[in-house]
Structure 1
Amino acid sequence: MTSPATLTWPEADGPRTARWRSEAAVPPPKRVVVADDRTTADSAYRLASEGTALLWHGDFQNARQLLQAVTRRLERKPRKQGATPLDAFNLHRQTQSQRARTLGMILIPLDADYGIALRRAPDVRQACIEAYGPASGDASVVSLRELLGLIGAHEWRKKGVEIAALGERIHPHYGVFSPVRGEYVDLVARTPLPSLELAFDIGTGTGVLAALLAKRGVRKIVATDQDSRALACARENLARLGYGEQVEIVQADLFPDGRAPLVVCNPPWVPARPASPLEYAVYDPDSRMLLGFLNGLANHLTPDGEGWLIISDFAEHLGLRTREWLLAAIDHAGLSVVGREDIRPRHPKASDQNDPLYVARAAELTSLWRLKAR
């Protein structure tokens, strides 16, 4: 078992070392200085831009204000314009990466029980337990940016996300893709079901589509995922909604055993390499999950069964994939298209002309492809 990464920093009585936490698998900074309420935003921005981390010893709320001030300085930098949608996408990801690296340089110490021994610090212990698991008994250090993400995820988990098609809330766990974009859920809600007997939900995540299929009357659903957080999240949501007996949760890479008259999959929509483990819900490197679903679908459908592939054409408008490639992949898998339902996005970025990917977002369609084995 690999030992946890550690961070070392200077103190007046000598160097200290603590466990380093990073859900994005970012290595610990090599250069660290102690910072407090006397540290100016200009100084913090300069140090962070140069790759020097600031371990915060001051007031917690002042650290939040400092992070906001550094963010404003980053936003003042002129944004490079891409000549093509693909250029814009690559520049956007590069900018996001640089921004995350700089903003991740303000660090917060956590006690062995995830408490924060700083003035005006919130109680983040439950949020940390939900993300990291039970306290290990070791002091640790985490970026303030990640910590605020944990707090936000904890609040979303408590509050939940309203799903109109369900008439219920889904409560996403930390690290599990939240169904905040409801278009794909609406597609599953309105497409005629080929059978009410059995369905497979591949890559269930929060369990939202499995819950919707159960609500629509499918008597048995087998929902799969390979991520332990997603499995726990789906079980909790489905039990809360009263579908725990109707839906079986199975840990699997794509398909469970057997065949079903309906197999549903909503894979990540963008064939690019994730920058962190948390991005695997959005980015599908080399279209691995998409191709895995297509190539295995025929062997998991009953005669005359349907596979529902739910995917956006956002990647096509970015120049990362072509429609011809998708149709060829469907054909190569021994499948034929028997129908398609389309829906336009409703999220704010689709109409934000200042968004660097606006051209692609404005043209985007999300589709439910109805597939059958030939």
Structure 2
Amino acid sequence: MTIHWDEAGQSCAAKWHSENGIGSHKKIQIGDDTLTADIAYRMACEGTAILYRGDFQNARQLLQALVRRVDKPSKKSKRVDRIEKDKTKSSLDTFNLHRLSQSQRARILGMLLIQVNADHTISLRRAPDVAQACLEAYGDQNESYVISLRELLGVISAHEWRKKGVPILARDDEEIRIHPHYGVFSPIRGEYIELVLKAPLPSALKENSTAFDIGVGTGVLSIVLAMREIKKIIGTDQDDRAIACAQENIDRLNLDNQIEIQKRHLFPEGNAALVVCNPPWLPARPSSSLEHAVYDPDSQMLKGFLSQLKDHLLPKGEGWLILSDLAEHLGLRTREELLAWIETAGLKVIARLDTKPQHQKVFDKTDALYKARSQETTSLWRLAISGNTH
């Protein structure tokens, strides 16, 4: 996809890149340090993108000014009042309005653009060295490309997380860290990791110490299972970024003899004593490639996992489904539907371990989804084949 604009009396073009699913802009104007925030905000609201040619740090300040203007109607005091007034709305209405609001916000803030050279450098004054961060996110490029400044800042942030890593557990007085890649969901919500650490292992592992990790992502759950001394683990994923991320984390911890990564849709061939899956928690359509770890349209991955699990479990084996009930509180799925899918798949629930999330949004009363988030429970469902004894 190519983006076109006029500059200094000449027609210009460059490759357009957007991980957020935004198409190439049709109306583009050049902006520099003389551009005021009010004018920039009006242009963005009217659908005109701004290709910035001034000082990079000034561009960041301009973006922050746009954020303040976008969020101005939603100051905490006003937002709390609005939430009080909106109590008559259903949870589903609230969720849909929130998604619409977030989409509109992202559209406006995505109007401030930066051109990046083919070698991932930026030809603006006081521009940071983003070459490694962009290389990690976008790979090698053979031509200049244009992205939104907001996306670029996300790429930089992802690079810092990748360098620093996310602590998940301790082993022999050593802190185990996962290093998430750009576009791969980071395991910052540690409550589900605790559930996998504490759940009693199925007896079938004594005879056949094998496990599958469906939708491996960063590799975090495969690594946790390896720490629990399961001898052979196969993690699967369809996403190339996830596969590369998981493999790097496994190699870093010298677990490649214990964990194998395969590019597959859901299950690998064969059967295992334990099959673990942490699917996206919300059955809604993702608005970008970056949201696939959160949104699962029509619960496709969840239903696919449940419907095929029976065919991939060893006798006395277990499937561990790690799932938040946030979708239930938002009116996107009912508990009855989930239980019906489990029963239809020829499975039974032998136990469920619950925990309460501790992330920041759970306690933020100004968050539009606070009511649902404050009631959220994350569960590890221990599933077995119906009729099998445990």
TM-score range normalised by the length of the shorter chain: over 0.9
Q: Which residue of 1 aligns with 2:30?
A: 34
Q: Which residue of 2 aligns with 1:237?
A: 249
- Tell whether 2:149 aligns with 1:144: yes
Query: Taking structure 2 as the reference length, what is the TM-score of the superposition?
Result: 0.93
Contact 1:89/1:318, CA 8 A, preserved across alignment: yes
Q: CA deviation at 1:14?
A: 1.1
For 2:167, give the aligned amino acid: E
For 2:384, give the aligned amino acid: K
Aligned partner of residue 58 in structure 1, secondary structure: coil
- Tell whether 2:135 aligns with 1:156: no
Cα distance in structure 1, aligned partners of 2:360 and 2:169: 18
For 2:337, give the aligned amino acid: W
Which of 370, 373, 376 is residue 358 of structure 1 equivalent to?
370
- Count residues in correspondence: 369
Q: Which residue of 2 aligns with 1:296?
A: 308
Q: Which residue of 2 aligns with 1:94?
A: 100
Cα distance in structure 1, aligned partners of 2:361 and 2:8: 48
Contact 2:215/2:279, CA 8 A, preserved across alignment: yes
Cα distance in structure 1, aligned partners of 2:8 and 2:239: 43
Q: Which residue of 2 aligns with 1:170?
A: 178
For 1:37, give the aligned amino acid: D
Cα distance in structure 1, aligned partners of 2:29 and 2:325: 46
Query: Taking structure 1 as the reference length, what is the TM-score of the superposition?
Result: 0.97
Greater shift in the superposed pair: 199-208 or 70-79: 70-79
Cα distance in structure 2, aligned partners of 1:254 and 1:221: 14
Contact 2:91/2:329, CA 8 A, preserved across alignment: yes
Contact 1:165/1:185, CA 8 A, preserved across alignment: no
- Tell whether 2:131 aligns with 1:125: yes
For 2:194, give the aligned amino acid: D
Which of 312, 336, 354 is residue 342 of structure 1 equivalent to?
354
- Per-residue deviation, residues 251-294 of structure 1 (Å, max 9, x unmatched): 10000000001000000000000000110000000000000000
Aligned partner of residue 315 in structure 2, secondary structure: strand
- What pairs up with 1:206-225 in 2 under 5 angstroms? 206-225=218-237
Cα distance in structure 2, aligned partners of 1:322 and 1:357: 17
Cα distance in structure 2, aligned partners of 1:173 and 1:328: 36
For 1:100, give the aligned amino acid: A
Cα distance in structure 2, aligned partners of 1:45 and 1:165: 47
Q: CA deviation at 1:165?
A: 5.9
- What pairs up with 1:291-330 in 2 under 5 angstroms? 291-330=303-342
Cα RMSD over matched residues? 1.0
Identity between Structure 1 and Structure 2 (%):
61
For 2:65, give the aligned amino acid: A
Q: Which residue of 1 aligns with 2:285?
A: 273
Q: CA deviation at 1:332?
A: 0.6
- Tell whether 2:188 aligns with 1:180: yes
Aligned partner of residue 164 in structure 1, secondary structure: strand
Cα distance in structure 2, aligned partners of 1:256 and 1:302: 14
Contact 2:158/2:182, CA 8 A, preserved across alignment: yes
C-alpha spacing 1:354/1:165, structure 2 compared with 1 (3 Å): farther
Aligned partner of residue 45 in structure 1, secondary structure: helix
Cα distance in structure 2, aligned partners of 1:37 and 1:346: 42
Q: CA deviation at 1:173?
A: 0.3
Aligned partner of residue 292 in structure 2, secondary structure: helix
- Tell whether 2:90 aligns with 1:84: yes
Aligned partner of residue 70 in structure 1, secondary structure: helix
- Tell whether 2:28 aligns with 1:18: no
Aligned partner of residue 174 in structure 1, secondary structure: coil
For 1:352, give the aligned amino acid: D
Q: Which residue of 1 aligns with 2:201?
A: 193
Contact 2:21/2:287, CA 8 A, preserved across alignment: no
Q: CA deviation at 1:335?
A: 0.4
Which of 45, 48, 61 is residue 44 of structure 2 equivalent to?
48
For 1:103, give the aligned amino acid: L
- Structure 2 segments unaligned to the other structure (5+ residues): none
Cα distance in structure 1, aligned partners of 2:13 and 2:309: 50
Which of 108, 133, 137 is residue 114 of structure 2 equivalent to?
108
